[in-house]
Amino acid sequence: MKTRDMACLLLVILSVLCIALLASCSKESTDFEASQMEIPEMELHDADYILGENVAGASSDNPMVLHATLISIYGKGHDTVLTDVSFSQGKKLSGGCKTAHVSSDNKRAVLSGDVHVSMDNDGTQVTVESQSIEWDGDKNTLLCTSLVSVTYGDGTKITAEGFSASMNEDRYEFSRILEGTL
């Protein structure tokens, strides 16, 4: 009888261990699938990315060219993330930032982390600095809703909350000037 009780106890212990093992395997599988979604489909090192190029490959009249130490391309419908970025748009605009999130339609980007943009407006230099600036390729505009510092070639400096620039019209607007005068 004791041998039979020991066999039943051993069978119960093995059953519990099997159930625990199966449960832990399925949990690890779920965690793996979730982490897979965060892994880019492709990474490029020390590469260029062209904004404003449509799906058919025909570029806009004046695309923005971004150079990054790392470009992480995620699946369709997700942003492409560029790290340690320098950029230019023709001879009128250049700058850099820590990261850029490019929309999946390739027409918009959010530049963030020590963003600086230099614009040449018919010989007049304008430099914009902020922590985050949005670029819209369809409208060829820059938009900053946070704190921004704008320095003109003559040394005039404006600190403002909110800024927009239309590159096609060479027009700059401030939401609220905090320091400096035009």
85 & 30 share domain:
no
pLDDT, residue 33, reads: 46
- pLDDT (tens digit per residue) in 102-111: 987 777 899 9
- What is the rounded CA–CA span in Å between residue 150 and residue 153? 10
Over range 93-115, report the average pLDDT: 90
Same domain, 27 and 4: yes
84 and 150 both lie in a single domain: yes
pLDDT at 58 over 50: no
Q: Give yes or no: residues 17 and 91 share one domain.
A: no
> Do residue 64 and residue 34 come from a single domain?
no
Are both 56 and 82 inside the same structural domain?
yes
Question: Which residues have C-beta within 8 Å of that of residue 41, sequence separation ≥ 6?
Answer: 73, 74, 75
Same domain, 134 and 150: yes
Query: Considering its fold, how many domains does the chain have in total?
Result: 2
> Rounded to 5 degrees, what angle do the CA atoms 141, 117, 153 make?
110
Residues 114 and 126 in one domain: yes
Q: Is the same domain home to 72 and 141?
A: yes
21 band by pLDDT with thresholds 50, 70 and 90: low
- The tokens describing 67, both together, are 């150079």
Residue 111: predicted pLDDT: 94
CA nearest neighbour of 132 among 113, 155, 154, 159? 113
Mean pLDDT throughout 2-27? 58
Separation of alpha carbons 19 and 31, rounded Å? 19
Q: 125 and 93 in one domain?
A: yes
What is the CATH classification number for the domain harbouring 112? 2.60.450.10
* Same-domain pairing of 151 and 66: yes
Going by pLDDT thresholds of 50, 70 and 90, the confidence category of residue 92 is confident
Domain that holds residue 129: 42-179
- pTM as predicted: 0.71
Task: Read off the pLDDT of residues 73-90 as tens digits, 9 standing for 90 and up.
Answer: 987 777 899 999 999 988
70 and 35 part of one domain? no
